[in-house]
Amino acid sequence: MLTLFMREVNFYKSESGKSPVADYLDLLDGKHAQKIAWVLELIEELPKVPKQYFKKLTNTEDIWEIRIVFSNNTFRLLGFFETNRNFLVTNGFTKKSQKTPLSEIKLAEERKRNFYKRKK
C-alpha cells in the first residue's frame, strides 16, 4: 500500500480572526500569488522540499522561511511547525535585500508565542 507524505500549510489568525498572510497575498497580483500557491503546494506534497524554497532560519525560535522568486520579485513567508505535519505561516513580505529583516523574524516569533498562548 502506497502512503503519501503530506504536510498541511495554514495561515496564522489573530485573536480577532484576521489572517495577516491572506491580507498580504490579496495585495499581490495574480501571477505572483499563483507562484506562491505553487510553492506552498510543494511544501505540502514533497517529503523533502528543496532548500531554495524552504529552510529553517538559524538563531530563531524555530522559524522557517519560504522563499519565492518570480521575475524580479522575491517574496518571503515565515512560519513554524505546530506539529510535524502542520506548518503555520505567520507573516509575509516582499524582500528587498539578501538578509531577512530582523523585524520580520521577531514578528513571526511573537505570533508563534501568541498562537501557543491562545491554544492553552
**What pLDDT, on a 0 to 100 scale, did the predictor assign at position 81?**
97
The C-alpha cell 517574496 sits at 75
pLDDT beneath 70, residues of the chain: 1-5
Question: Taking the chain, what is the end-to-end CA distance rounded to the nearest angstrom?
Answer: 38
The full set of domains in the chain, from first to last, is 9-119 (3.30.2310.20)
Please state whether beta strands 8-11 and 86-94 pair in parallel, antiparallel, or not at all (unpaired). parallel
**What pLDDT, on a 0 to 100 scale, did the predictor assign at position 31?**
93
Compute the half-sphere exposure of residue 118: CA atoms within 13 Å on the CB side of its CA. Answer: 12
Q: What is the pTM of this model?
A: 0.92
Give the CA radius of gyration of the chain.
14
E strands of the chain, at which residues?
Answer: 8-11, 54-56, 64-70, 73-81, 86-94
